[in-house]
Amino acid sequence: MERCIRNFVTAAVLGLLFVSGCQSVSIDRPQALGLHAWKTDGGSPQRDRFSSSELTPPLELAWEYNASAGFGPGSPLILGDQVIVGTRKGEVHAIDWTSGERSGYKPFNEAIEGSPVLAGNTLYVTSAWGRKVLMAYDVTRSTVRWSVRGVPIEVPVVDVGETVVAVDVESHVRAYNKQTGTEIWHFDMETRGAVKSAPVLLDHTRMVIATDTGHILMLDAARGEPLWRLDLDAPVYSSSAVSDGVIVIPTTRGRLIALRAERGTKSWEFALGREDARFSGVAIGDGRVFVGATDQRIRAIDLETGKQIWETELDGVVSAPPQIAGAHVYVGTLGSQVVALDRASGAKVWSAELKGRVKSAMAVMDDALIVLSEPRYVTKFVRTTEVEDEEK
């Protein structure tokens, strides 16, 4: 039997402590993380994938971790001195931020497709396969507090007040009490479509859900009541995002659609002119939408008008959403590259080869970028020492 390893890593500012064993992930005082954490897919429930961190390229490889299985489309989490990833093998891995060594591990024995979500002292893990489709894992006690059986869930939960809201593949929406797992309300979207795209939260209660048949629902997530509905007549598989009251939704029919959040009216539509094209998830920052596509291009589009500002051709299809970091946009491709673009012009400024294709979202914290790539790798890139010395 592999010997259990306990690592104590103390963060002076955050007061964070992880204790890890062969089959546990534990966090002491998770509330102390504050805003210095990446607690959900995209960094926020708005999924804007925007970070103000000035992660200036060139970057260099810090470490690479073998997670033993692949990942879903969502991003890893960054919690203090740890990177947290869920795998399609049903495992949650905690990776030491500095060394890249495994510092915690918990097998849930179910396939994890959507990113885990940290809310308070609980990590909420959804399952795309198996009997238990939602598990609440207490990270201070290293125990499963409660679990739910039902229809598989392929997207992350949304943290709404005293509840977490989960959407299954049959478009049933349910709110559960965070502490007990008791179902608070249930809403059926009454559509044959499945939910493959992570829901987004506009404010404290309004949540947008998109199905793979193009049905869009704005829901009052506090009461489980619909506010408006819309049929886009185009499948939605990739992550939407919201900013400044505008919801930007990528489709698989070569159409990128922006809706006004208040009533669901169309603000604009950007079309590639070919229905076989498929947009990636989107990132939004400072009035610009950044989105990739199967035509091997990434584009910057004005959030207000829907007009293209620039486009850049890359070496492969862009399936995963871009990630904004300060003055740059980072993009992963199916050509097994990660590329940094100038956010203003779209010019390529840096790239690195990976061991596999990028089909998952990234995460950024301070001076580092975390990339998930096929078939099972977690890679950390950091600013090069030369750049840091020049800035000093």
- For residue 21, what is the domain's CATH number? 2.130.10.10
Percent of the chain predicted with pLDDT > 70 = 90
> Is residue 2 included in any domain, yes or no?
no
In a domain, 192, yes or no: yes
Q: How confident is the model at residue 191 (pLDDT cuts 50, 70, 90)?
A: confident
How far is the C-alpha of 175 from the C-alpha of 163, rounded, in Å?
A: 6
State residue 5's pLDDT score: 31
Assign 385 a pLDDT band (cuts: 50, 70, 90).
confident
At residue 110, the pLDDT reads 82
pLDDT at 29: 59
Q: Is residue 7 part of a domain?
A: no
Residues facing 332 on adjacent strands: 338
Higher-confidence residue of 55 and 28: namely 55
Three-state secondary structure call for residue 100: coil
Look over the chain and give the mean of its residue pLDDT values, rounded to a whole number: 91
Does a structural domain hold residue 6? no
Confidence check: pLDDT of 20 > 50: no
| 34-38, 65-69, 370-374: the lowest-pLDDT one | 34-38
Total domains, the chain: 1
Q: Which is it for strands 50-51 and 323-325: parallel, antiparallel or unpaired?
A: parallel
Residue 206, in any domain of the structure: yes
Query: pLDDT value at position 130?
Result: 86
Is the pLDDT assigned to residue 295 strictly greater than 70? Answer: yes
- Expressed as residue numbers, the domain containing 67 is 17-391
Model confidence band, residue 12 (pLDDT cutoffs 50, 70, 90):
very low
* 8 A C-beta contact, residue 245 and residue 259: no
Residue 74 placed within a domain:
yes
H or E element: which one contains 391?
helix 385-391
| Candidate from 34-38, 190-194, 206-210, 318-322 with smallest mean pLDDT | 34-38
Distance, in Å, from the CA atom of 323 to the CA atom of 98, rounded to the nearest integer, reads 22
State the pLDDT at residue 247.
99
**pLDDT band per the 50, 70, 90 thresholds, residue 1:** very low
- Does residue 320 contact residue 361 with C-beta atoms inside 8 Å? yes
- pLDDT for 114-128, tens place per residue? 999 999 999 999 999
Within a domain: residue 246?
A: yes
Please tell me the predicted confidence (pLDDT) of residue 387.
Answer: 53
Confidence (pLDDT) at 162:
97
* Reported pTM: 0.91
| Residue 81 maps to a domain | yes
